[in-house]
Amino acid sequence: MAAPHTAKEIIYMDNSSTTRPAPEVVKAVTSAMEEGWGNPSSLHKLGSKSQAIVRAARQAVARAISADESEVYFTSGGTEANNLAIFGTLRTLPDRKRIITSTVEHPSVMAAYEYLKETGYDVRFIRVDSLGRVDPEEVLREVTPDTALVSIMLVQNEIGTLQPCREIGRGLMSMGGKRPRFHIDAVQGFARLSIDVREWGVDLLSVSAHKIHGPKGVGALYVRKGVSLTPLAFGGGQEKGVRSGTENVPGIAGFGAACALWETDREETMRRLTDLRAKLVDGILGAVPDAVLHGPRREGVAPYIVHFSFPGLRGETILHALEERGVYVSTGSACSSHKDKPSPVVLALGRKEEEALGAIRFSMSRYTTEDDVRITIAALLESLQSLKAWRR
Amino acid sequence: MKELLLVRYGELGLKGDNRADFERALLRHVEWTVRDMPGAFVSRSHGRLYVEGTFDRRLVLERLRKTPGIVAINPALRVDSEIDAVVEASIAASKEAVDKRGFKTFKVEARRGDKRFPLTSPEINRKVGEAVLAANQGLSVDVHSPDFVLTVEVRDTGTYVYWDEVRGPGGLPSGTSGRGLLLLSGGIDSPVAGYLALRRGVKIDALHFWSYPIVGERSKEKVIDLCKALRESGPDLRLYIAHFTDVQSEILEKCPERFRVIVMRRMMMRIACEWASSVSAQAVFTGENVGQVASQTLESLRAIEDVATLPVLRPLICFDKVETVAIARSIGTYDISCLPYEDCCTVFVPRHPVTKPKLEDVRAAESRLDVQSLVAACLKRIEEEDLTAV
């Protein structure tokens, strides 16, 4: 599968930061701006045309998680979806003061919980094992009648570890009655992994378009039928009052088109990526003996995220050396790439600080080819060779 | 009634024969603060500058606040020197003071510079005071510690009324104290050192050592942004980029690890002094500070100065970090400096740098380097960066 309009010399291995919009997406966005520019709330033909665009996209998002279209609410992205899930729940259940989450969540969840902790919430951060996985039993043991929310991510954004969301959700379902709500930040797994919100017992699930070749600035929150949320933004009552504000029709159209990309060949693409990931990991471990792989080597990991540390070097130094060779990666996650600071996620695995520095994340997409992986490994070896003198 | 900015300068008034040059330099700089506002004009009269016409008052004030030589700026109203107009302007100014700051007490300070005006200063005080009291309910006079002073200056060009004052940086106008070369890293300190030199009227150019491709383009963009911020205080500041990776590679290969940083700084100093001489700078400015990091002990500073051929001036030498940070924030460089990109130093620091190097050890540590040709090669590749590009 050829990468769409990609200059040959660039190998983009930073797809967990963002992805290149697919040609189908660009087309859908453009057409929504040129023809579907009406306000979906307007009663005339232009309005109903836009409404139809939004509805089709809503159905596409719903299909990807086995939900009903009425349960999908569009937002400005994953961060807003996460915040809406968390604060919308807590405002609806003001008497419940406990929240259960993990130590390796994305900053858009973590920062919210840090804030809530300061304001008096009893936030339980469940530790992960050396591969980055929470123990579902431990999560369930922490649940009390006072618990408002259990919130666990599906795919860890830096190291790719899959969390046992299904087990946690099933466990919560069996508690019946006054059980807490279950929220999944599925931004790094949506559309690529099979998700069944009903079977998993999910109440809230956050997704984003730009990680799957859609546009930036659009995401969605799944809200199970019967779960009520207090909105964060009040206004004209769009999205059934859960998220007011005129719909981002072009973005939503692009989101729908991005979902459609994966519908036909998701399993085949994942099989291919699983194979590519194994080649990448094995290639690096075979050629660089002191490289440290963070997260699982084979099972229990998203087949498109690979996170290595190269002790003695700085992540940004390696990043620029790879950039020189046309390979684009990131240090840790783009959101938390701060100078000199080891990633808190890698430290949460129990790694020593030296092992956490010099971290590089390679992340692939549906357009990544075997050649890309081969060139990436070669470029990495060349880079490490050229930086030998810079090691400390 | 016209709104304008009244710009006051102090120290340069004392400079005797140089005064005209200093005023001209300041006028040029104040004109630079309205460079993108064709409706504005700047004039000078009786030891003041005036910014008049149509301009973005908030933006110009922000720029004047960083213009060396300026002591204070007063947003003022100017009217013809007739008592009715003066009273009207005074009422308008007082209402603004009450609205904006919620002031409760005031006094009037009239200065009759133009003796043709029929009322004396005490008479103006009384007349204006009564009118302001009548126009503002809840406002009263307090001659000892008023919330604001309403100043009324009667001059031959008109009468100026103002109550507000923004402090300038003081110091001397740009370019009146010779030329210096600033070693500019991406950190917090060196831009502040540059600003302090600019504030004393030194014409500063900056030299940045860039380790591309070990560091990225962004580390250079960051330095460009720092220079743009400094340009508010030194409009003709230039930025030179020295490609430094080759020098660092040689050091990595040929010098003991513990001496890497000190040798690197000596190489920087050699290159800086040569470059400074070639652009007619009289001194090199750095952001160094005693004991802040291992490479800034007195022993290290001495070992660096050992290779300098020009005076090395360190405006921050005895500053505390909080003082430096406060200045960095006020001149708008702090947030830029805090961007997380690696620079030529962060990628280079060894685990255990020598903190108190002996001079003979340092010299021995660089004995395998071909210093002359490394310096020459680096000088050859120094480029001036275009700071006017967006």
Q: What is the ipTM of this complex?
A: 0.71
Out of A335, A347, A375, A378, pick the active-site residue.
Answer: A335
Residue from B343, B347, B351 whose CB has the most chain A CBs within 10 Å, to mutate: B347
For residue A313, the chain B residue with the least C-alpha distance is B347
**Catalytic status, residue A335:** yes
Residue from A14, A331, A386, A392 whose CB has the most chain B CBs within 10 Å, to mutate: A392
Gap between the Cα atoms of B307 and B289, Å rounded? 18
The answer, for B338 touching chain A at a CB cutoff of 8 Å, is no
Nearest CA to B385 out of B205, B257, B213 is that of B205
CA torsion, points A197, A202, A207, A212, in degrees to nearest 10?
A: -30
Nearest to A390 among B214, B216, B351 (CB): B214
Q: Are A97 and A121 in contact (CB under 8 A)?
A: yes
Nearest CA to B302 out of B360, B373, B370, B375 is that of B360
Kindly give the residue spans of alpha helices, DSSP state H, lying in B34-108. 57-64, 83-101
pLDDT score recorded for residue B390: 61
Give domain A11-21+265-390's CATH architecture: Alpha-Beta Complex (3.90)
pLDDT score recorded for residue B353: 78
Tell me if residue B122 falls in helix, strand or coil.
helix
The answer, for B138 touching chain A at a CB cutoff of 8 Å, is no
Residue from A317, A337, A340 whose CB has the most chain B CBs within 10 Å, to mutate: A317
Distance separating the N- and C-terminal Cα atoms of chain B: 37
**Tens of pLDDT along B3-53?**
999 999 975 555 567 788 888 999 999 999 999 999 999 999 888 999 999
Nearest to A392 among B216, B253, B351 (CB): B351
Domain range annotation of chain B = 2-167, 179-385
Gap between the Cα atoms of B210 and B381, Å rounded? 11
Residues (pLDDT < 50) of chain A are 1-7, 333-338
Please indicate whether, in this complex, the C-beta atoms of A337 and B346 are within 8 angstroms of each other. no
Give domain A23-263's CATH architecture: 3-Layer(aba) Sandwich (3.40)
pLDDT score recorded for residue B45: 86
Gap between the Cα atoms of B227 and B208, Å rounded? 10
Nearest CA to A298 out of A274, A272, A266, A271 is that of A274
Q: What CATH number belongs to B179-385?
A: 3.40.50.620
Tell me whether domains B2-167 and B179-385 share a fold: no
Cβ within 8 Å of residue A92, ≥6 positions away: A228, A229, A230
pLDDT score recorded for residue A30: 98
Percent of chain B, pLDDT > 70? 97
Instruction: Name the residue with tokens 């402090």.
Output: B167
The pLDDT profile of chain B, 390 residues, written as one tens digit per residue, is 899 999 999 755 555 677 888 889 999 999 999 999 999 999 998 889 999 999 999 999 999 999 999 999 999 999 999 999 999 999 999 999 999 999 999 999 999 999 999 999 999 999 999 999 999 999 999 999 999 999 999 999 999 999 999 999 999 999 888 999 999 998 999 999 999 999 999 999 999 999 988 888 889 999 999 999 999 999 999 999 999 999 999 999 999 988 999 999 999 999 999 999 999 999 999 999 998 676 789 999 999 999 999 999 999 999 999 999 999 999 999 999 988 777 777 777 777 778 888 999 999 999 999 999 999 999 999 999 999 876
Tell me if residue A141 falls in helix, strand or coil.
helix
Cβ within 8 Å of residue B55, ≥6 positions away: B34, B37, B39, B40
Counted across chains A and B, CB pairs separated by less than 8 A come out at: 41
Gap between the Cα atoms of B152 and B82, Å rounded? 12
Query: B140 vs chain A: nearest CA distance in angstroms?
Result: 44
Please indicate whether, in this complex, the C-beta atoms of B214 and A320 are within 8 angstroms of each other. yes
Interface of A with B in 79-138 (CB under 8 A): none
The answer, for B215 touching chain A at a CB cutoff of 8 Å, is yes
Residue ranges of chain A that CATH labels 3.90.1150.10: 11-21+265-390
Nearest to A324 among B213, B346, B347 (CB): B213
Cβ within 8 Å of residue B271, ≥6 positions away: B207, B209, B242, B247, B375, B378, B379
Give domain B2-167's CATH architecture: 2-Layer Sandwich (3.30)
pLDDT score recorded for residue B109: 96
Residue ranges of chain A that CATH labels 3.40.640.10: 23-263
